[in-house]
Structure 1
Amino acid sequence: MIIVTGGAGFIGSNIVKQLNNKGRNDILIVDDLTDGRKIKNIEMLDFADYIDYEDFDIAVEQNTFDCGPIEVVFHEGACTDTMDYDGRYMMKNNYEGSKNLFHYCQERRVPFIYASSASTYGHGSNGFREDPACEQALNPYAYSKLLFDRYVAKFRNQLQSQCVGLRYFNVFGPNETHKDKMASLVRQMYYKLMETGEITLFKGIDGYGDGEQTRDFIYVNDVVNVNFYFWEHPEISGVFNCGTGHAHTFNEFMKAVISFAGKGEIRYIDFPEVLKGKYQSYTQADTTKLLAAGYDKGFTPLEQAVHEYCALLRDNEGYVK
Structure 2
Amino acid sequence: MIIVTGGAGFIGSNIVEALNKKGKTDILVIDDLTDGKKMHNLTDLDILDYMDKDDFITNIKSGYNFGNIEAIFHEGACSSTTEWDGRFIMKNNFEYSKELLKWCLKTGAQYIYASSASVYGTGKKGFIENRSCEHPINMYAYSKFQFDQYIRSVMKKGGVKCQIVGFRYFNVYGQRETHKGTMSSVAFHFNNQILTNGKARLFEGTDGYKNGEQERDFVYVEDCVRVNLWFLEHPEKSGIFNIGTGKGRSFNDVANAVVKWHGSGNIEYIHFPDNLKGAYQSFTEANITALRNAGYEKPFLSVEEGVKKYLDRLNNGDKD
Shorter-chain TM-score: which interval? over 0.9
Match of 1:267? 268
Q: How does 1:32-51 map to 2 (within 5 A)?
A: 32-51=32-51
98-107 or 292-301: which moved more? 292-301
Query: Aligned partners of 1:194 and 1:7: how far apart in 2?
Result: 29
78-87 or 13-22: which moved more? 78-87
After superposition, the Cα gap between the structure-2 partners of 1:184 and 1:215, relative to the gap in structure 1 and judged at 3 Å, is: same
User: Is residue 136 from structure 1 mapped to residue 159 from structure 2 by the alignment?
Assistant: no
The secondary structure found in structure 2 opposite 1:154 is: helix
Counterpart residue type for residue 92 of structure 1: K
The secondary structure found in structure 2 opposite 1:106 is: helix
TM-score by length of 1: 0.97
1:233-269 CA distance string (max 9 Å, x none): 1111110001110110000011000000001111111
Match of 1:29? 29
**Offset of 1:318 from its aligned partner?**
4.7
Query: Aligned partners of 2:65 and 2:204: how far apart in 1?
Result: 52
Q: How does 1:77-96 map to 2 (within 5 A)?
A: 77-96=76-95
**Offset of 1:63 from its aligned partner?**
3.3
1:165-202 CA distance string (max 9 Å, x none): 00000000000001011100111121211120101000
Match of 2:195? 194
Query: Aligned partners of 2:64 and 2:301: how far apart in 1?
Result: 38
Query: Aligned partners of 2:198 and 2:116: how far apart in 1?
Result: 33
1:267-297 CA distance string (max 9 Å, x none): 1111112222221110000011000000011
1:134-154 CA distance string (max 9 Å, x none): 001110000000000000110
Counterpart residue type for residue 280 of structure 1: Q
Give the conservation status (yes or no) of the 8 Å contact 1:6–1:75.
Answer: yes
The secondary structure found in structure 2 opposite 1:164 is: strand
Give the conservation status (yes or no) of the 8 Å contact 1:63–1:104.
Answer: no
**Offset of 1:298 from its aligned partner?**
1.2
Q: CA RMSD in A?
A: 0.9
Give the conservation status (yes or no) of the 8 Å contact 1:170–1:216.
Answer: yes
Counterpart residue type for residue 17 of structure 1: E
261-270 or 186-195: which moved more? 186-195
Q: How does 1:223-242 map to 2 (within 5 A)?
A: 223-242=224-243
Query: Aligned partners of 1:42 and 1:222: how far apart in 2?
Result: 20
Query: Aligned partners of 1:304 and 1:240: how far apart in 2?
Result: 23
Match of 2:16? 16
Query: Aligned partners of 2:64 and 2:257: how far apart in 1?
Result: 46
Structure 2: give runs of 5+ residues left out of the alignment: none
Give the conservation status (yes or no) of the 8 Å contact 1:177–1:318.
Answer: no
Query: Aligned partners of 1:93 and 1:58: how far apart in 2?
Result: 13
Give the conservation status (yes or no) of the 8 Å contact 1:309–1:318.
Answer: no
Query: Aligned partners of 2:234 and 2:307: how far apart in 1?
Result: 30
The secondary structure found in structure 1 opposite 2:125 is: coil
Q: How does 1:48-59 map to 2 (within 5 A)?
A: 48-59=48-59
After superposition, the Cα gap between the structure-2 partners of 1:289 and 1:223, relative to the gap in structure 1 and judged at 3 Å, is: same
Give the conservation status (yes or no) of the 8 Å contact 2:245–2:302.
Answer: no
Match of 1:125? 124
Counterpart residue type for residue 19 of structure 2: L
Give the conservation status (yes or no) of the 8 Å contact 1:56–1:65.
Answer: no
Counterpart residue type for residue 42 of structure 2: I
The secondary structure found in structure 2 opposite 1:286 is: coil
Query: Aligned partners of 2:89 and 2:318: how far apart in 1?
Result: 30
Query: Aligned partners of 1:10 and 1:247: how far apart in 2?
Result: 22
Query: Aligned partners of 1:127 and 1:241: how far apart in 2?
Result: 12
Q: How does 1:197-208 map to 2 (within 5 A)?
A: 197-208=198-209
Q: How does 1:147-296 map to 2 (within 5 A)?
A: 147-156=146-155, 157-296=158-297
**Offset of 1:158 from its aligned partner?**
2.8
Counterpart residue type for residue 257 of structure 1: V
The secondary structure found in structure 1 opposite 2:150 is: helix
Counterpart residue type for residue 316 of structure 1: G
The secondary structure found in structure 1 opposite 2:104 is: helix
**Offset of 1:317 from its aligned partner?**
6.7
Give the conservation status (yes or no) of the 8 Å contact 1:4–1:76.
Answer: yes
Give the conservation status (yes or no) of the 8 Å contact 1:310–1:318.
Answer: no
Counterpart residue type for residue 118 of structure 2: S
**Offset of 1:302 from its aligned partner?**
1.6
1:33-64 CA distance string (max 9 Å, x none): 0001100000110000000001011222x232
Counterpart residue type for residue 49 of structure 1: D
Give the conservation status (yes or no) of the 8 Å contact 1:212–1:249.
Answer: yes
Counterpart residue type for residue 247 of structure 1: G
**Offset of 1:120 from its aligned partner?**
0.4
Query: Aligned partners of 1:282 and 1:233: how far apart in 2?
Result: 32
